[in-house]
Structure formats: C-alpha cells, structure tokens
Structure 1
C-alpha cells in the first residue's frame, strides 16, 4: 500500500509541477500557478539560508497563514550543517504570527522541518496576489 501511495505521489509530481497556495484558515488551495526559474532561484536562497531544524515531533500549521507547495525541477542538492540531501519539494509555512519554516521532502521521501534566515514575505505577497 505504501509503495502504491509513493508511486502515485511521484507520478502526480511529474505530471503537475505547479505551485499551490493553501490557505490554512480556509483549509483549501486558493491558487495554483506555474513555477519559474525566478521562483526556483528564490527557493534556493531560502535553502542556502537554513539555520536550524525544528525538532517538533508533531507538526501543526500556524493559524492565519499559508502553506505554499513548491516542487523543485530539477531537485536541488543542499549541503550544510543541518541538511545534506537532494530536495525535491518544499512547502513554505508562512504566518505573520510565527517564524517562517520550510517543510522539505527529499528524493527518498524523507521529511524535514527547518528554519531559515531569508525573508519570504515579498515572495508570499507576490505569489498570493498575482
């Protein structure tokens, strides 16, 4: 069953590498848009600025925010003190009430929740309104 789910997830990623904006309060995707080299570059800046791992065992999204799913094409190799993996998908977890975090998915389907220094606010404003 797990192998079937993982295969289905991989197929869907290959078919639909779109960015999805999920409004946490509304509990639904409010926008789907195409990625671009510019967006991939912004995500790389975030990944290069990772400065810690969120050690929470149970992840709960913050209230009044968004989660933005950003598939990486091609996947990016990140090597620093906290992450040494090939990242295939990033979820930006953004709320005005909490520090932004990244939920990272590796090519091997490992998941990591990390903090980063770069400011994603301009990206969130741009992607949420365009």
Structure 2
C-alpha cells in the first residue's frame, strides 16, 4: 500500500522529465515545417548556423507590429525555429531575448509573411518584416510554393 503511494508520483515525475528532455532535444534538432491546412508537420530542417543567421536577419528587418489578433493564417505554412542559443534583440519594435520564432506564410493575397516571436521576458509578439530573402530561403530547404504570398506588408 505504501509502495503504491510512492510509485504513482515517481511515474509522473519520470514521465514529466522524459517529456522535458524530449522537447529539449527536438529544439536542438532544428525547425519544423507545418502545413496549416493539413494540420501536420511535413518536414524538418536541421539546425545550422545558416538557419540561425537567417532568423537573425529577419529579426533585424522588422517593419511593424501585427495589428490583428489573428496571427495564424487559415492556410499556408508555419515554420517553427528555435534559436540556439537565444538571441538578444534590441530594436525599435521590441527588446528581449528571443528563444523561438514561428514564421507564417499564406497563399492569401491579404496575409503578409509574419513572425511570431517568443521571448524570455515578454512572452510573444507578432511582427511583419522585410521578406526579400524569403524566396531563396524556401528554395534552399525545398519548401517553396509559387502560390505563397511573399510580399512585405505595407508600412502603416
């Protein structure tokens, strides 16, 4: 009876530790490409200096805050990219330590490429950015789709 009371909490602790370790390993492994319409991960991109530098380039090219509460488009792709190590960003739009970004790109003409930025300090923020390198990024990782809207959002 006493042994059963001890085993249940131990099992929960082991499961939680396993989940945490699994999440840490997947963050180090790289990025995940998610097809929003299908609702599934379609590709993984290995972590590399090139990938990390691409994200830093986008972060340095922020053009404004997303004004809509609906950050995620109804179709297109989302690419979740952890920053390893986290990146300290100081700009006109935000200051903080970026731990992860999610890049949203839609096929809709009215949805512009958007970064959802997660920070240690402030939680998250949605921003638009200059997307001149987006097509080459998508081509490099073989996720390019000519129907994706890669036009930079108008600055308001």
| Cα RMSD, aligned residues only | 2.4
Change (3 A) 1:10 1:27: same
CA distance in 2, matches of 1:101, 1:113: 7
* Cα deviation 1:13-62 (Å, max 9, x = unaligned): 422122100001111100123110001111111000001111223x2522
SS where residue 141 of structure 2 aligns?
Answer: helix
Which structure is higher in strand share? 1
User: Paired residues, what number?
Assistant: 123
Given candidates 21, 25, 38, the residue that maps to 1:15 is 25
Alignment of 1:1-130 (within 5 A): 11-17=21-27, 18-57=30-69, 59-97=70-108, 98-108=111-121, 110-119=123-132, 120-129=134-143
CA distance in 2, matches of 1:106, 1:8: 24
User: What runs of 5+ residues in structure 2 fail to find an aligned partner?
Assistant: 1-16, 145-156
Q: Any runs of at least 4 consecutive aligned residues in structure 1 with deviations exceeding 6 A, and if so which?
A: 7-10
Q: Which has the higher contact order (CA 8 A, sep 6+)?
A: 1
Please, what TM-score do these two structures have when normalized by structure 1? 0.82
Structure 1 residue 63, shift from structure 2 partner: 3.4
Bigger CA radius of gyration:
2
SS where residue 123 of structure 1 aligns?
Answer: helix
